[in-house]
Structure 1
Amino acid sequence: MLQVSSLNLELMSNRELNEILEKYEMFLRSIHFPIQTTIVSQPINLQHYVKENEELLERTTNPFKRELLESYIDYARDIERNQDMMQRKRYIVTYEQILGVTRESYYDALHSLEDKIKHLKVGLEEVGLHSEEVSDLEMMRYLHTLFDYNESQHNPIKDEIVLPMIIKENLV
């Protein structure tokens, strides 16, 4: 699964827009395996921003700067709490079926999947889009959003509860 950046087509001239759309069409025509594209709206996670500002607040001695930092932190927490700000994440999903129960079947499928991902990444880059494979945590958040949107918005999966991937004993 790849997370894909976006392009602002509104700011492009007609020539640029046509060029991008032609490249995207060529990319889609080059794909000879099933893919799924999805766009998911998720609340923005500002925890990292809040933590950085809290650390900066601890080191700041100027009372005016401290007051300003405190207001930034409160504002960011309020945005997260009220979920006023959402981000749209774009994904391309593909798969590869494992044909058999042997280690070799597993690795054959894995190599085939890696080739598909590489093809997608190169094609997207030619269009001007950045893509990267999602982490296990991001995959879990994506699935959580798809299966239980309301709960995922109020109780998103946190970093510390990431579960390891489980693989059959005879494959690893």
Structure 2
Amino acid sequence: MTATQARGLRSTGFVLAALIALTAAAACGGDSDEPAKASPRPSERPSEADSPEGPKPSMSAADGRDITACADGNCEIAVSGPVKIPFKGPRGPATLTVTEVGPDTIAYTVKSGNGQSKGSASGPGQGCITVLRSNGSGNSCGGLGAAGRPSPQPDAVVIQAATGENGTAVLQLVSDR
């Protein structure tokens, strides 16, 4: 974990001790403008952006693939390709943009106001957690293990993106609303 990420986590007041301990062994995305690097998706598999229906996810989620379920900042959806998910953030409208999904791969950007945060992970059981607050955000990527649903944080939206082996990722948005 970089010093920048550690400061970001401290500034949000969000402690993920188990996740931080596993971060050193995992791929981790940061707040840079560099595109996330991950294995390419097979060219014959269409993305969700190519059709309204998109490919059928290989993992299930409480809200299926319904991105409108995330509008209030609370949902669990499965995605198998790039998608934009608008939701209510701590400072008003925010957008979670999944830029890449593949076998054991996820990359995304969260934008709120003038700020943005990027996360990416690759490998079995890997993922990222982004905590979006009115005064900024913090990211942590690494092994999720049996993390389950993230806990709500006061005046924040917690986003967990978990990789899936068959090219499907599960996104969980949790707010205190």
TM range (shorter): under 0.3
Answer with 1 or 2: which has the greater Rg.
Answer: 1
| TM-score of the two chains, using structure 2 as the length reference | 0.22
| TM-score of the two chains, using structure 1 as the length reference | 0.22
Q: Which structure's residues are more often helix, by fraction?
A: 1
